[in-house]
């Protein structure tokens, strides 16, 4: 059967599991599966771009709500200013107090990005990052992950279902299938990235 919608994914998980007593918790397994995929995959379709302006003397800015991992961060100055990453501890040591200037580095603290130094004026920041796909639900019935890679979500959901059911043999089976699928997707994406395949990156917004 085709697996292109949230309802079809739920049906597939039920059919593959050969269980008829877990319908009420299959949505939980699918949500856990999505989190598993988000931890294991970094492909171009997960990339998005945001721009916003700094505020003078403001060091902290909210990360987008769907943020997974930074890919690049820069100031759109002339020439461009690439911001290097520092650990929070190194940032504290290097940019303690009220040092202001043109930002050169950043760190991530919780759900915020911190600039060093504090901006001495207005600069346009541009962040390229990996985003979590929209979570599947009765109202959001599909996303690019389900459209392109339904097998990954089926395998990951069955890992969670069989963890719930304490079926170690099935867990091993579907973990192997999941890992093979993830590795194949990542390998193909890495190959396409180095071959120069075009990808349009969507613009988003920082959290205000």
Choosing from 102, 130, 158, the residue where a domain stops is 130
| pLDDT 10s digits, 3-37 | 999 999 999 999 999 999 999 999 999 999 999 99
Rounded to whole angstroms, the Cα distance separating 33 from 3 reads 15
Domains of the chain: total: 2
Sign of CA dihedral 128, 130, 132, 134: positive
- Are 114 and 15 within one domain? no
| pLDDT 10s digits, 82-123 | 999 999 999 999 998 889 999 999 999 999 999 999 999 999
Q: Is the pLDDT of residue 78 over 60?
A: yes
- Are 104 and 120 within one domain? yes
> Residue 13: inside a domain, yes or no?
yes
pLDDT of residue 196: 60
pLDDT of residue 98: 83
pLDDT of residue 188: 95
Task: Domain of residue 50: give its range.
Answer: 46-130
pLDDT band at 197 (very low <50, low <70, confident <90, very high): low
Mean confidence (pLDDT) of the chain? 93
pLDDT of residue 195: 76
Rg (CA), the chain: 21
Choosing from 94, 113, 130, the residue where a domain stops is 130
- Are 61 and 118 within one domain? yes
- Are 60 and 120 within one domain? yes
> Residue 154: inside a domain, yes or no?
yes
In contact, 36 and 145? CB cutoff 8 Å: no
In contact, 119 and 52? CB cutoff 8 Å: no
- Are 86 and 148 within one domain? no
- Are 138 and 183 within one domain? yes
């Amino acid at each position: 059967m085709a697996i292109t919608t949230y309802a079809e994914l739920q049906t597939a998980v039920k059919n593959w599991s050969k269980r008829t007593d877990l319908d009420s918790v299959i949505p939980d397994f699918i949500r856990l599966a999505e989190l598993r995929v988000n931890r294991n995959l970094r492909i171009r379709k997960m990339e998005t771009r945001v721009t916003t302006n700094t505020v003078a003397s403001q060091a902290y800015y909210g990360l987008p709500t769907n943020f997974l991992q930074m890919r690049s961060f820069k100031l759109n100055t002339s020439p461009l200013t690439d911001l290097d990453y520092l650990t929070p501890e190194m940032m504290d040591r290097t940019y303690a107090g009220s040092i202001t200037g043109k930002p050169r580095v950043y760190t991530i603290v919780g759900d915020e990005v911190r600039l060093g130094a504090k901006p001495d004026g207005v600069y346009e920041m541009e962040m390229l990052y990996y985003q979590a796909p929209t979570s599947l639900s009765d109202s959001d019935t599909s996303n690019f992950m389900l459209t392109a890679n339904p097998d990954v979500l089926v395998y990951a959901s069955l890992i969670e279902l069989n963890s719930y059911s304490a079926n170690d043999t099935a867990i091993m089976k579907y973990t192997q299938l999941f890992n093979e699928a993830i590795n194949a997707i990542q390998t193909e994406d890495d190959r396409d990235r180095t071959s120069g395949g075009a990808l349009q990156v969507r613009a988003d917004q920082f959290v205000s």
